[in-house]
Amino acid sequence: MEALQEEAAPLSVPIWINNVATLVMVAGVIIALVRVVNSVWVKPRTLERWLTQQNLKGNSYRFVYGDLKEMEKMVQHANSKPISLDDDIVPRIIPFHLHIIRNYGEKCFIWLGGRPMVNTTNPEELKDVFNKISVFQKIPNNPLAKLLVSGIIEYNGETWVKHRKIINPAFHHEKLKLMLPAFYECCNKMVNEWKKLVSESENGSMDLDVWPWSQGMTADVISRTAFGSSCEEGRKVLQLQIQQAHLTHKVLRSIYIPGWRFVPTKLNRRLKELEKEITLLLRGIINKREKGREEGEAPTDDLLGILLESNHREMEDNINGNNKNVGMSIEDVSQLASSSKRRGPPTLWLYPPAPILTRVVLEETRLGNLRLPAGSGIVIPAILVHQDPLLWGDDAKDFNPQRFCEGISKATKSQTSYLPFGWGPRICIGQNFALLEVKMALCLILQNFSFELSPSYTHAPIVVLTLQPQFGTHIILHKLY
């Protein structure tokens, strides 16, 4: 009996094991604290000294937030009221950046949290930044922002190379030609709806906000060209992603706090709900297409089909060139597009989709006469590069289509000074897709309407991930026939 009681007695843990466990826990806490202190104070101050010793100027580092609070305050103030069409849009788009440059000169830096971002607009330095993609990499996003801004946009190194290789064939010029029927169908649908609206008006003219129409047409184009027969599901994805974009914009303008994404705030919950819904929709579309591909029934003339073929290394080397009649031949589109060719570059030059581009310095390197430490960053105000009179002349801020009449290379004098889609190996992969859509739409609109700016138009460009009109784009449409 006594033996059984002895066996049943709980085993006592040796004191030394308890002591070791306590020491491990304390050491873990100390290491975590050291890392936090280094991240939010020691490293930023070290980087600041490194830059100021090279005569770079900027605000002194402010704990955790850096310049973010002041930046947000100035952006909100700038966006609180519209501007005149004759006003410079820069103070409204990048007010804080302009403020820093005016205070400290072009050799300056700003603080994105604890990371100092060195300003540069020098074409030779820009060329280095865009070409040396292993040194100057995309800045890692806030984990919540990654729910929208992820994939090839954010990838670096070998991961980026792998995905770019898979995606490149889908955006080849010859592949985009195969999508002309879808482009035409979507643009023509919008134009026909406009014709109906104008016909119902009393004087053959009407005031129309074309911004939501252009968004809808773009969603339609992407749905049809990307998902083909699954375009309805594709539209749902894009509608959800528009919601994601507005919520993500709020996240990107706030300081990143590690672990905050796990706090069940209203914003966090909605972002995760959207991400889950989008993932389920996309997974369903891809699974259905994969099954069809295996059975030899899936189309390969849309982006999804091309991407799946690329991913399985089964791309055909030649394109059969058979295009159904879309009302306009490829030659017709090319001829009409030439009339709008000179309008595109100056518009994107004055209103670049991404007014500011950023990179992080992965390892210590030289940029011009500067020695940049690992962990610092580069900020490129593309909109200021486009308005630099030293690069573009005294009329740099004027809309001048003739500037690009001999091509972009001649206009820029082969310098890295035209950046609406970035530059170098990481230039936006979808730029040709976007420009083809715009040219097709503009050609069809000009065939059917004349238009002028409406008195109700309010000039208020704003950045919500990309540059866009805050209060829409109101024009007066006049039907030609």
Range picked from 77-81, 216-220, 298-302 for highest mean pLDDT: 77-81
Tokens encoding 453: 């700016």
pLDDT tens digits, 329-385: 444 444 444 444 555 688 898 999 999 999 999 999 999 999 999 999 999 999 999
Taking residues 237-252, report their average pLDDT: 76
How, if at all, do strands 115-119 and 377-380 pair? parallel
What sign does the CA torsion over 75, 79, 80, 85 have? positive
Fold (CATH) for 120-479: Cytochrome p450 (1.10.630)
Nearby residues of 291 by Cβ (< 8 Å), 6 or more positions away: 298
Which tokens hold the place of 19?
Answer: 């002591």
Chain-centre distance for alpha carbon 466? 6
C-alpha atoms less than 13 angstroms from C-alpha of 60 in its C-beta half-sphere: 1
User: 22: exposed, middle or buried (C-beta count within 10 Å: 0-12, 13-18, 19+)?
Assistant: exposed
pLDDT at 256: 66
Angle at 316 between CA 312 and CA 319, to 5 degrees: 140
| Residue ranges of the binding site for heme | 428
Q: What is the DSSP letter of 117?
A: E
Report long-range pairs for 314-319 (Cβ below 8 Å, ≥24 apart): 315/169, 319/174, 319/175, 319/177, 319/178
**Which residues define the annotated binding site?**
428
Distance CA 192, CA 198 (A): 10
Top-confidence residue, 413 or 310: 413
Give the model confidence (pLDDT) of 385-416 as tens digits: 999 999 999 999 998 888 888 888 888 988 99
Residue 205, SS3 per DSSP: strand
112 touches 97 (CB < 8 A) = no
In the predicted model, what is the mean pLDDT of residues 199-224?
88
User: What residue ranges do the domains of the chain occupy?
Assistant: 120-479
pLDDT tops 60 at residue 230: no
What is the model's pTM? 0.81
> What are the pLDDT digits (tens) for 109-164?
999 999 999 999 999 999 999 999 999 999 876 665 565 556 667 778 888 888 78
Alpha-carbon distance 442 to 294, whole Å? 39
Q: Name which residue leads in pLDDT, 219 or 478.
A: 478
User: Which residue would you say has higher pLDDT here, 357 or 178?
Assistant: 357
Helix or strand (DSSP H, E) at 360: strand 357-361
Burial annotation 405-426 (CB, 10 A radius, 16+ → b, else e):
eeebeebbeeebbbbbbbbbeb
Cα–Cα distance measured from residue 421 to residue 171, given in angstroms and rounded to the nearest whole number: 15
